[in-house]
Amino acid sequence: MVGNFQTSGKAVFRGRVPARWIVFAVAMLWAGARLATVAAAVEGVIASQSELSFQASGMGTEVEGGFSRFDGKIDLQTDNPQESSVSFSVEIASLTFPADDIRKELLKPDWLDATRYPKAEFASTRVKKIDAGRFEVAGTLTIKGHAHEVTFPVTLGRSGNATVASGTLTIRRLDFGVGQGEWGDTSVVADEVKIKFRIALGAPPAG
């Protein structure tokens, strides 16, 4: 599968989906299914079911935020997984947070510095199949100009009529220069931040 996805209130999946993605998606959803017998179509991102969020701990309290705009490219080669690739970018200014004053603070230079570094990016260097429906993705994550190698699992599942790719990645914010000065104190804001993603794909409406 080679395609682009973008979320911003309305999500679109641009480009026709080649047959190898159709084979891949169904095979991962139904353990033991034979690739030669697959017949399905996945062509759209379902915005209402797709999300990119993060969890952090401040003064012992768990808080959660997210991003409303991100796009990416996926190239999955079922017969040669090691040649597959995954990449995405996130618009930092699309940060969402329950408290607007904190949201504005997080966009400032001591934190995410959205003006100087408008995007966070990931580019895979390796995609490995673990078992039916589960993969391990390794690559370079760049936030605020700091690049580090990360590895995380991706699971393909089914939710209603949608195919869902989901996963969780834990990073250390200080590795990426997020939270400087007094905010570097991890007793105030924990170093570990958990990133969660859920991308739902489904066939376009009939007619």
Q: What confidence score (pLDDT) does residue 163 get?
A: 73
Q: For residue range 154-194, what is the model confidence (pLDDT) as tens digits?
A: 887 888 887 788 899 999 999 999 999 999 999 999 999 99
What tokens does 82 get?
């090691």
CA distance 178 to 161: 38
In the chain, % of residues over pLDDT 70:
71
β-strand pairing of 85-91 with 119-131: antiparallel
Q: Which CATH superfamily is domain 2-202 in?
A: Lipid/polyisoprenoid-binding, YceI-like (2.40.128.110)
Amino acid at 75: D
pTM as predicted: 0.73
53-88: pLDDT as tens digits: 999 998 888 999 999 988 766 665 656 778 877 788
Phi first, then psi, for residue 121 (nearest 5°) are: -135, 150
Residue boundaries of the structural domains of the chain: 2-202
